[in-house]
Amino acid sequence: MPGDSIGKMFKISVWGESHGPSIGVVVEGCPPDIELDLNKIREELSRRKPGKNKFVSARKEEDRFEILSGLFNGKTTGTPISVVIKNEGLKKENYEELAKIFRPAHADFTYHAKYGVRDYYGGGRSSARLTAPVVAAGAIARQILSRELGIEITAYVKKIGGIESNISYDKVQQSDLSESLISFPEKDREEEILKLLEKLREEGNSVGGIVECVVKNVPAGFGEPLFDKLDADLAKAMVGLNAVKGFETGNGFSCVELSGKENNDEFTMENGKMVTRTNRSGGILGGISNGMPIVFRVAFKATPSISQKQNTVDIDGKEKEIEIKGDHDVCVAIRAVPVVEALSAIVICDHYLRYRGQCGIK
C-alpha cells in the first residue's frame, strides 16, 4: 500500500497493524558512526504509550522495542535501521461486532471503499497505534539534530475545547510541562481542563485540541523551493497523523486580520547575526528556515471512538445503532504531543541532510 513512507534523504517506512503481532519502522539515510542512546528512544515511547491516566486509552502496551539492523557496537552503520515493537494489549473481542458495521468519523468506510477489505481489529492500519514506531524513528532523528546542531523541539497542548493557554511559546517552561498530566503549560487553567475531561469521560464523550510545537536553533537555509518547502513538508507530515484536521505556522489563519505593515517581520542585527524583531512567519520564509524559532500548531478533532449511542450504516446498507466499547482517549491531542515532536524531528532531519548534501556545512 503506498503512502507508508515519508522523507527523501532521511526516510522512514512504517509497517504493521493495530492488533497484529508487531509493528515497526525502517529508517533509511541515517548517517553512520552516530552513537544512539537507546534509553532516549524508550523515554519517547513511554511518553506516547497508552494507559498512563484515566483520560487516555486504557490499552496496556509496554512498547518494548528491538533494533534488528543498522547498529554495530552501539553506533549507526549508515545502513537501514529496522525497529520492531511487539503488540501486547490486544482485545480483539471488543471489535468483533464491527466486522460489518462502519463506525462514524472513522476510516472504516473509506478503507472498505478503497480496498474492498479492511482489518476491523482496532482499525488495523488506520489505528493511532502506528504512531509508536513513528516516535521511535523520531527519537533517532532528534539525537542527530541535537548532537550535530543543538536543535531543541518542544510541543505541548495549547488548547482543549474552548480552554486555551495564553502563555507565549517563548515563555513555555519544560518544568511546567513535565509536572502537567496533559502537557499543558499553564497551571492556573489546567484544573479547568481536567474538570472538562472528567465530565466528558463520565459521559462517554470526547473533545478536540490543539498542539503547538516550537523548534529552536534551526539554522537559516533548511527547505526547498515550491513543492518541498519546509512548512509544506511539516504540514504533510502533521496532517498525515490520525485525527488531524488543521495546520498553521506562525500567525497562521489570524494573519488575514493584519495589514502588511502589521504582519511583516522586520530584520535587524543581533550579536552579529541577522534576526527578525518579531516572528509572525513562524521561522519560515518562502518555504526555507530563516534562523528564528519554527512555530506551528496542529488541530486534532474529538476522538471519534465514544461510548454514546450513534447512528450508522452496515456493510449491507442497513441503518444501525452503534455504541463503541472500551476506554478511549477523551482528547487525542494529549498523547499526540510526543508524536508531533517526533514527526518534526524526522522532517527537519531530512531537510538538514538535504541541505548538507547540497550546500555543505557553513
For 331-356, what is the mean pLDDT?
97
Q: Is residue 340 a contact partner of residue 213, using CB atoms and an 8 Å limit?
A: yes
Strand, coil or helix: what is 130? helix
Residue 78 has pLDDT above 80, yes or no: yes
For 191-209, what is the mean pLDDT?
95
Assessment of whether the complete model's pTM goes beyond 0.75: yes
Domain positions in the chain are: 5-359
User: For the chain, where are the E strands, in sequence order?
Assistant: 5-6, 11-16, 22-28, 65-69, 71-72, 75-76, 81-86, 152-160, 163-164, 209-216, 244-249, 267-270, 273-276, 284-285, 288-289, 294-300, 310-313, 319-322
pLDDT one-digit tens code per residue, 217-246: 999 999 999 999 999 999 999 999 999 999
29 grid coordinates: 539515510
Residue 49 has pLDDT above 60, yes or no: yes
Angle 38-48/131-149 helices, nearest 10 degrees?
A: 130
Residue 158 has pLDDT above 90, yes or no: yes
Question: What is the reported pLDDT for 51?
Answer: 65
Answer whether CATH 3.60.150.10 is correct for domain 5-359.
Answer: yes
User: For 133-173, where are the E strands, in sequence order?
Assistant: 152-160, 163-164
pLDDT one-digit tens code per residue, 131-152: 999 999 999 999 999 999 999 9
